[in-house]
């Protein structure tokens, strides 16, 4: 009995001693990762590579914090291996600035519960411009109290759950995560922004035998595009797979559902992207990138909705209706600005969307329409008919190149000859109407100068013309009348002379083309304004003069042929 009482007394003393030790002041260690504060949303993260905030937390006997100090943030284990230099050059200055602004002092005088209640999302407790560092510091303090380590870096290369197959509503992913990663699937998100959560009741997920099998209840209702699989380590040991690398290149697991569309089902109509079937809104939510390559440039300008750091970028190439942003301006980090498209430059635009065929098309920004004296000033110079110049056999290879690119080597020669013939007609007016009717079954345009004119000179308000021998045919001063439409096909500017003897040169009807924008001119002239607005009837039917500068160089010849081919091939497609 005495031994029993003695043992009981000793145990009570030991328990009291242990209780007393918990009430004593203590120094605690805690750390927490700065990244993934908004995971798995693509709201901006701290710029990768990632790091952990490490802190020393001193508390008094009552559990109140008396001091918080750095404990080797940026040292080995706190920074992902291989990224120490990046930490020192990029991350450390921001971290130091937050600490210097009093971040760690904000925890002093608080208990664990008071630390939990702190608002680090931009409120009074956060340091301005360091929201995620503030949140990580808060978590590191809490982890210190609870003796819980920060999450460990994943060393997985590529997707953590590589796609094995995705068809008929069943998606199979292979588990490439560490064996002690306690895999838990939180949700599945659709679209490159990771914003739309797929209803949990629409699928089942089985995790077994090193694989994740996702089965959709109704395969026909599964939308095309990019799907992100949101997984976490239920044990809290590891970070979730990161977005670094962007969609389909990061650790973050994903799969793609194909739209079933072919390349011919997606087109650009000169203004916007058009789908033959399916949802354009869904297509736009799955844009991987838009690449804009200027003619002659080595590197394309790339626009991404989600960048390679897994964050939403400054995407302005397309609007919510698929319209190409011709006047878009790209803003660089240093504050400089540059246009997506410059006037007078030919571009090749490539649009890639997850689950859809790639779309490539030529594009030249239409310059703002000039009118009145401004247009006459822009076209100043002497011109000869365009097509006799550019259909010279010595330029056949220039005609052939865009046709080969669009249609392949076998079909290209015939198409190139067809394009050259389309505007090399020699009849207009009633003779052309008799030959082509309303043009529904094909027609050939006469693009020469008519009424004995071989060359035309624009010199401000004065327009004049000469014949083949250089003799004057007409010369008049013209005044701007207003805008005019050619059969609803194109709009231009109308000019009229007050000279009573002008005859067939009373009106000049200029389209908005200039040598600087489209490398040529298109115009009509005549005695009757109404007749000039009709393209397939009347005395000017199937005639539209095309002028080319008499002093044009070989580069301009190449440019005008290439532009003519690409525009007409795009329209044909």
Write out the DSSP string of 121-155. Answer: SSSTTSPTT-HHHHHHHHHHHHHHHHT-PPPBPP-
Residue 343: the pLDDT is 82
Residues linked to residue 166 through DSSP beta bridges, in sequence order = 171
Question: 81, 112, 146 — which closes off a domain?
Answer: 146
Tell me, yes or no, whether 278 lies in a domain. Answer: no
Instruction: Please give the residue range of the domain that contains residue 68.
Output: 25-146
d(CA 503, CA 451): 11
Torsion of CA 181, 186, 190, 192, to 10 degrees: -50
pLDDT at 529 exceeding the cut of 60: yes
Q: Are residues 472 and 376 in the same domain?
A: yes
Q: Is residue 17 part of a domain?
A: no
The verdict on 397 and 468 lying in the same domain is: yes
Q: Is the pLDDT of residue 117 over 60?
A: yes
Q: pLDDT band at residue 381, thresholds of 50, 70 and 90?
A: very high
Distance CA 383, CA 475 (A): 15
CA distances (Å), origin 189, targets 46, 255, 314, 506: 22, 10, 22, 66
Residue 285 binned pLDDT confidence (cut-offs 50, 70, 90): very high
| CB 339 within 8 Å of CB 332 | no
Q: What is the pLDDT of residue 572?
A: 57
pLDDT for 87-96, tens place per residue?
Answer: 899 889 989 9
pLDDT tens-digit profile of 192-204? 999 899 999 999 9
Say if residue 571's pLDDT is above 70: no
**Same domain, yes or no, for 86 and 178?**
no
The pTM assigned to this predicted structure is 0.65
Same domain, 116 and 223: no
CATH of the domain at 211: 2.60.40
Is 339 part of any domain? yes
Kindly state whether residues 378 and 500 are assigned to the same domain: yes
pLDDT at residue 47, rounded to an integer: 60
Q: Is the pLDDT confidence value at 16 over 70?
A: no
The residue from 119, 146, 173 where one domain ends is 146
Q: Counting Cβ atoms within 10 Å, is residue 317 exposed (0-12), middle (13-18) or buried (19+)?
A: buried
Q: Is residue 521 part of a domain?
A: yes
What's the pLDDT score for residue 373? Answer: 87
Q: Do both 227 and 357 map to the same domain?
A: no
pLDDT digits (tens, 9 = 90+) for 256-278: 999 999 999 999 998 999 999 99
| Residue 276, domain member (yes or no) | no
Mean pLDDT of all residues in 5-20:
40
Q: Where are the beta strands (DSSP E) in 295-332?
A: 301-303, 329-331
154 versus 199: which is more confidently predicted? 199
Query: Which residues lie across from 148 on neighbouring strands?
Result: none
> For the ranges 126-130, 377-381, 426-430, which has the lowest average pLDDT?
126-130
pLDDT at 20 over 50: no
Mean pLDDT across the stretch 124-144? 89
Could you tell me what percent of the chain has a pLDDT over 70?
94
* Domain assignment present for 262: no
Sheet containing 346-353: which strands, arranged edge to edge? 301-303, 287-294, 346-353, 359-364
Mean pLDDT of 304-322: 88
> Are 125 and 190 in the same domain?
no
| In contact, 539 and 526? CB cutoff 8 Å | yes
Question: Would 269 be classed as within a structural domain?
Answer: no
Q: How far apart are CA 330 and CA 136, in angstroms?
A: 33
Last residue of a domain, one of 115, 146, 177: 146
CA distance 365 to 171: 43
Does 562 lie in the same domain as 445? yes
pLDDT at 56: 97
Residues 123 and 188 in one domain: no
CATH number at residue 34: 3.90.1010.10
Confidence of residue 547 (pLDDT cuts 50, 70, 90): very high
CA 177 to mean position of chain CA atoms? 32
Q: Are residues 433 and 478 in the same domain?
A: yes
CA 87, 88, 90 angle in degrees (round to 5)?
65
Same domain, 459 and 564: yes
Give the C-alpha distances (Å, rounded to integers) separating 110 from 104, 138, 271, 552: 12, 12, 60, 79
Percentage of residues in the chain having pLDDT higher than 90: 73
Q: How confident is the model at residue 4 (pLDDT cuts 50, 70, 90)?
A: very low
| Predicted local confidence at residue 447, as pLDDT | 97
3-state class (DSSP) for residue 307: coil
CATH number of the domain bearing residue 421: 2.40.128.20
Mean pLDDT of the chain: 90
Residue 570 confidence (pLDDT): 73
> How does residue 414 score in pLDDT terms, banded at 50, 70 and 90?
very high
* 212: pLDDT strictly greater than 70: yes
Residue 406: per-residue pLDDT: 85
Flag whether pLDDT at 22 surpasses 70. Answer: no
- Higher pLDDT pick, 462 / 46: 462
Q: Residues 564, 397: contact at Cβ < 8 Å?
A: no
Instruction: State whether 468 and 319 are in the same domain.
Output: no
45 band by pLDDT with thresholds 50, 70 and 90: low
The number of distinct structural domains making up the chain is 4
Is residue 44, in this structure, part of any structural domain at all? yes
């Amino acid at each position: 009995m005495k031994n029993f009482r003695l043992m009981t007394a000793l145990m009570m003393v030991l328990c009291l001693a242990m209780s007393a030790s918990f009430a004593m002041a203590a120094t605690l260690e805690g750390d927490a990762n700065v990244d993934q504060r908004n995971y798995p949303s693509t709201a901006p993260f701290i710029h990768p590579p990632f790091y952990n905030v490490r802190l020393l937390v001193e508390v008094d006997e009552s559990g109140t914090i008396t001091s918080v100090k750095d404990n080797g943030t940026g040292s080995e284990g706190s920074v992902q291996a291989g990224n120490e230099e990046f930490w020192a050059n990029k991350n450390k200055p921001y971290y130091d600035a937050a600490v210097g602004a009093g971040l760690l002092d904000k925890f002093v005088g608080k208990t664990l519960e008071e630390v939990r209640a702190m608002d680090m999302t931009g409120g009074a407790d956060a340091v301005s411009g360091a929201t995620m560092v503030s949140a990580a510091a808060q978590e590191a303090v809490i982890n210190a109290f609870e003796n819980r380590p920060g999450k460990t870096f994943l060393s997985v290369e590529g997707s953590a759950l590589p796609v094995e197959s995705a068809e008929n509503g069943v998606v199979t992913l292979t588990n490439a995560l560490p064996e002690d990663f306690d895999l838990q699937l939180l949700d599945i998100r659709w679209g490159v922004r990771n914003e739309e959560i797929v209803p949990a009741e629409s699928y089942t997920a089985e995790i077994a035998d090193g694989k994740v099998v996702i089965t959709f209840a109704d395969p026909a209702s599964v939308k095309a595009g990019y799907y992100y699989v949101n997984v976490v380590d239920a044990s809290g040991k590891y970070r979730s797979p990161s977005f670094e690398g962007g969609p389909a290149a990061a650790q973050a697991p994903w799969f793609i559902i194909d739209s079933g569309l072919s390349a011919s089902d997606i087109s650009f109509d000169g203004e916007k992207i058009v789908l033959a079937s399916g949802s354009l809104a869904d297509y736009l939510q799955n844009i991987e990138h838009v690449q804009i390559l200027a003619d002659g440039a080595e590197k394309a300008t790339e626009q991404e909705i989600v960048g390679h750091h897994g964050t939403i970028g400054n995407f302005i190439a397309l609007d919510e209706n698929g319209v190409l942003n011709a006047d878009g301006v790209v803003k660089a980090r240093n504050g400089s600005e540059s246009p997506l498209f410059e006037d007078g430059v030919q571009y090749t635009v490539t649009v890639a969307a997850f689950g859809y065929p790639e779309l490539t098309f030529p594009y030249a920004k239409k310059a703002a329409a000039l009118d009145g004296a401004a247009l006459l000033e822009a076209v100043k110079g002497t011109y000869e008919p365009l097509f006799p110049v550019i259909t010279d056999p010595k330029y056949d290879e220039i005609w052939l190149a865009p046709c080969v690119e669009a249609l392949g080597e076998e079909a290209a020669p015939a198409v190139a000859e067809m394009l050259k013939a389309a505007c090399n007609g020699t009849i207009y007016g009633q003779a052309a109407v008799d030959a082509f009717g309303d043009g529904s079954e094909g027609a050939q345009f006469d693009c020469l100068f008519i009424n004995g004119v071989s060359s035309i000179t624009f010199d401000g308000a004065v327009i004049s013309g000469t014949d083949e021998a250089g003799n004057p045919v007409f010369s008049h001063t013209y005044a701007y009348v207003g805008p005019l439409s050619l059969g609803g096909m194109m709009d231009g500017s109308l000019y009229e002379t007050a000279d009573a003897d002008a005859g067939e040169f009373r009106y000049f009807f200029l389209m908005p083309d200039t040598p600087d924008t489209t490398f040529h001119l298109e115009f009509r002239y005549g005695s009757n304004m109404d007749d000039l607005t009709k393209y397939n009837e009347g005395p000017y039917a199937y005639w539209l003069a095309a002028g080319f500068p008499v002093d044009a160089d070989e580069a301009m010849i190449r440019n005008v042929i290439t532009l003519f081919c690409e525009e007409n091939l795009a329209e044909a497609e």
